[in-house]
Amino acid sequence: MPYRTIIEPFRIHSVQAIRYPTPEERLAALEAAGYNLFGLHADDVIIDLLTDSGTGAMSSKQWAGMMDGDESYAGSKSYYRFRDTIKELTGFAEIIPTHQGRAAERILFAVTVHAGDVVPNNTHFDTTRANVEYQHAEARDLVIAEGHDPSSLHPFKGNMDVAALEATFDDVDRDRIPLAMMTVTNNSGGGQPVSMANLRAVSELCRNRGIPFFLDACRFAENAWFIKLREPGYEDRTPREIAREMFSLADGCTMSAKKDGLANIGGFIGLNDRDLARDCRNLLILTEGFPTYGGLAGYDLEAIAQGLDEVLDEEYLRYRVRSTAYLAEKVLAAGVPIIQPPGGHAVYLDAAALLPHIPPHEYPGQALAAELYLDGGVRGVEMGSVMFATRHEDGTETPAPMELVRLAVPRRTYTQSHIDYVAEVMIDVAQRAEHLRGFRIVEQAPWLRHFTCRFEPIADP
Ligand SMILES: *Cc1c(COP(=O)(O)O)cnc(C)c1O
């Protein structure tokens, strides 16, 4: 299009009202939730940027597909549409539906990962790490150094440190590395993309060593778009061609359809190895369901098949990446440091830089996230030491490498004025930054503690 303004490539067809809780109601709600934003009633949130997972709006074509869902227990036509769409997109021979991404991880790792194993990844997402560690194996993050530097403008900050991966392959017994993974885009590292050159290098190294290579493909379409924008040689390729090339470098994938599936639920495993697929299906039947529905309704399979098609539309991807960049520009203008450049699905606020007076063990990200909610009803999520600290047996913790708050942008859900409102809240909070106080954790679970832990504010000294 000849104009500079990138518009939402859709018009709104059905709306949901937003409730406006008062500041007093928000404080009461937060206290009742133990200051954990996951514990809030969503009705007490004005703009919900907790996650982009399953929170997007579906298209009229997806809803039409749902009306046409085939709920047959075995061999549903919706399964065949789902399977064929994904086969065509990924080239993988075996497609196994699951109820969401972590179910795919749980099944794949239960079959392949054993106690004492090491699984390398650029950066494990929280559920991926937890599912590796649940098998008593080590989840090893090997992202490039720029990936840990919030101000580095490297175009592909999600890249794997190939030399570090090679060193891991040299140091660890071959049969202690069941597979290597790459997360595209690198969610926990700031939604940063991975280049095709890096995927190719990792793929070749894995092939030479006989180690299966898997993609955690949740945001494959956003990654493909960044490759088109930033990697020489890909300017004229379509997102679909780029995505196909990405998948062709891997032996399999896990996927949450709640991200680039543009659906509200669902996931899958894609594989070429038939024996491995058989073992996965045997476990699938135990915990998810028959292999032609895997914990999903027939109508979910329809919504995902349609969504995987729409997500590769160039106008959609241009709007998607631009609306995240717009939020980033607004936040920067408010004087809040962020991870640069902004990723595809979210803006990551650098709470350590904004709140230098709050040490990591008092959770600066939690302090910032709680204040954004109290101030304007905006819900983000802490991605710092609450989520990623290494916890030791004696109760001490090694802090996470970065103290971030993620503002994730649900797909096709909020308009530009919603984002302008978020920016206003941000400016107000940033101006009062030195008055924010840290938190201590008073209750926590043995793993994935951020979902359920309870906090207490630390009083003024
Ligand atoms: C969301 C996500 C998962 C887990 O998927 P769920 O559908 O939430 O279970 C795994 N990896 C990455 C990179 C994710 O973003």
Closest to 128 measured CA to CA, from 260, 277, 256? 256
Taking CA atoms only, the protein residue closest to ligand 1 atom 4 is 101
**Candidate of 109, 125, 451 to mutate for ligand 1, largest count of ligand atoms within 8 Å of Cβ:** 125
Average pLDDT over residues 114-129: 95
Whether the pLDDT of residue 162 is over 90: the answer is yes
Q: Among 216, 268, 387, 409, which residue has the most ligand 1 atoms within 8 Å of its CB, making it the best to mutate?
A: 216
**pTM score, two decimals?**
0.94
Residues 359 and 271 in one domain: no
Mean pLDDT, residues 281-294 = 96
3-state secondary structure of 253: strand
Residue 461 has pLDDT above 80, yes or no: no
> Who wins on pLDDT, 289 or 190?
289
Task: Determine the atom of ligand 1 nearest the C-alpha atom of 257.
Answer: 7
Are residues 31 and 86 both part of a single domain?
A: no
Query: Hey, whose CA ends up nearest to atom 6 of ligand 1?
Result: 101
Calculate helix-pair angle for 364-376, 23-32, nearest 10 degrees.
140
- For atom 11 of ligand 1, which residue has the closest CA? 125
| Last residue within a domain, chosen from 310, 326, 343 | 310
Tell me the per-residue pLDDT of 304-315, one tens digit each, with 9 for 90 and over: 999 999 999 999
- In the reported structure, the alpha carbon of residue 256 is separated from the centroid of ligand 1 by a whole-number distance in angstroms of 5
Percent above pLDDT 70 for the chain? 99
pLDDT digits (tens, 9 = 90+) for 215-252: 999 999 999 999 999 999 999 999 999 999 999 999 99
Domain span holding position 114: 60-310
Give the domain CATH number at 353. Answer: 3.90.1150.10
Q: Is 335 left (phi over 0), alpha (psi -120 to 50) or beta?
A: left
Taking the CA of residue 188 as reference, the ligand 1 atom at the shortest distance is: 13
Tell which of 310, 328, 359 closes a domain.
310
Interatomic CA distance for residues 382 and 403, integer angstroms: 8
Q: How far is CA 211 from CA 112, 137, 391, in A?
A: 12, 16, 30
Q: Classify residue 11: in a domain, yes or no.
A: no
Considering only CA atoms, which residue is closest to atom 3 of ligand 1? 101
From ligand 1's centre to the CA of 102, what distance in Å? Answer: 6
Pocket of ligand 1 (CB under 6 A): 53, 100-102, 125, 127-128, 183, 187, 216, 218, 256, 258-259, 267
Residue 184 lies in a domain: yes
Q: Which ligand 1 atom lies nearest to the CA of residue 104?
A: 9
Check whether 446 has a pLDDT greater than 90. no
330 and 238: one domain? Answer: no
Q: How far is the CA of 24 from the centre of ligand 1 (A)?
A: 34
- Ligand 1: distance of its center to the CA of 432 in Å? 34
CB 223 within 8 A of CB 245: no
CATH number of the domain enclosing 161: 3.40.640.10
